Amino acid sequence: MRIGIFIDGGFLEVIRDACHFDEQAAPTLSQFVAMVRSGVARSYGIQPGQVDVVGMHWFRGQFPKDPDNRTHKEDPRVLYARTIRDQRLVEELNDAGIKPHGRTVYKLDACPACGKTEFCEKGIDTLILADALDFAVTSKPDGLVLVGSDGDHITLLERMEERGIQTILVYYNSPDVPRPVSTGAKTTPDTSIKTPPRTKTHKWLTDKATTLLRIDWRKGFALLTKTDLEQMERDEEMKRARVCRVYQQGLVSRQVPGVPAKPSH
């Protein structure tokens, strides 16, 4: 099976940072590519050696060069941290054999889309679509792996489907975190409580893609296939059933969330 891998770099970097948030080691891009190859093989019931990656592409906004350090003159630490991060990314891309693509992003007085006054990344989704269409014509792959979450990628999946190309979506949905209830009084946020990054993949993509691989960074950045998710759901149901039986038999006295209360006599 011949596939191409198209990575929304902004999306993947957010998820890799989530590993650092959870104090885990984020996979390198070479390791990530190997995980994608293995996930595709398991999804289609073939061996990883039968998955031939004929093209790998990385898309990300690029900051304009500022040799005089005018933009970050007030805080050189910001420029240094970004420089180190960019150097490591370039090394990872080279080691993995991934071709980078980018569009220069500029600082606006106010972005017309989001209103921010910071650097805004625009045109990346369109760039991915254009290059994927060229790739489909020149390389004629059997499948295309899209690593991303933006609903604008739906056009890419539709165009691949029209050409008879399988679409494999590598996606991520952040776990639901209870939000604090406002009491009307001003409170100081508890900085000791860390919350994971909020990322949600558009439902259009998960509905349209031929095959799904879900990222779970809490399991060592595993890529879970449909079979894996179904097994996890069965395991959760069995766990809830066991807890319910224990509670109903009176072996525990506290109320367990999601378990019906023990009938009173």
Going from the C-alpha of 15 to that of each of 9, 105, 199, 212, 226, the distances in angstroms are 10, 21, 8, 17, 20
**What does the pLDDT look like over 94-146, one tens digit per residue?**
999 999 997 766 555 545 555 554 555 667 888 999 999 999 999 999 999 99
Structure tokens at 62: 């690029």
In the chain, domain spans: 2-176+194-224, 226-265
Locus of tokens 């040799």: 67
**What does the pLDDT look like over 168-178, one tens digit per residue?**
999 998 765 44
**What does the pLDDT look like over 143-194, one tens digit per residue?**
999 999 989 999 999 999 999 999 999 999 876 544 444 444 444 444 444 4
Tell me the pLDDT band of 251, cut-offs 50, 70 and 90. low
**What does the pLDDT look like over 19-68, one tens digit per residue?**
766 666 788 999 999 999 999 999 999 999 999 999 999 998 776 655 44
In this structure, the number of other CB atoms found within 10 A of the CB of residue 43 comes to: 20
Angle, helix 29-44 to helix 76-96, in steps of 10 degrees: 50
Burial of 178 (0-12, 13-18, 19+ CB in 10 A): exposed
Instruction: Domain 2-176+194-224: state its class.
Output: alpha beta
Between residues 19 and 3, the one the model is more confident about? 3
Q: Which of 158, 120, 98, 138 is nearest to 10 (CA)?
A: 120
Going from the C-alpha of 22 to that of each of 5, 36, 110, the distances in angstroms are 27, 22, 33
202 HSE (CA, 13 A, CB side): 15
pTM: 0.76
